[in-house]
Amino acid sequence: MNTREYLAFQRTIMANERTLLAYIRTSLAFFIVGCSLIKFFNLTITFILGLLFIFLSILILLIGFLRYKIFKSKMKNALHNS
């Protein structure tokens, strides 16, 4: 692997990490919105929406980690195959 290919590989790895951080940031925002809806409003609909946002935040976080792991393993296989 020459220098150009190595640097391209490293950029791809860092892009994957940035994508994971974006998933974490989005998940955290959904979680905060859900907690805020539950804490500050005393309506049934806001409680249900708050729980929905919290559930979605967990789902987004799991999807982000899963995509990160899958892509990381693909990159590791590509590195060993070349």
Amino acid at 19: T
User: Which class for 67: exposed (0-12), middle (13-18), buried (19 or more C-beta within 10 A)?
Assistant: middle
Please state, in angstroms and rounded to a whole number, the distance separating the CA atoms of residues 31 and 5: 39
The predicted-structure confidence for 10-69, as pLDDT tens digits, reads as follows 999 999 999 999 999 999 999 999 999 999 998 999 999 999 999 999 999 999 999 999
**Single-letter amino acid code for the residue at 40:** F
Q: Which residue has the tokens 């982000």?
A: 64
Does 75 map to a domain?
Answer: no
Instruction: Flag whether 26 is in a domain.
Output: yes
- 79 pLDDT band (50/70/90 cuts)? confident
Domain count, the chain: 1
Residue 2 lies in a domain: no
- Check if the beta carbon of residue 23 is closer than 8 Å to that of residue 63: yes
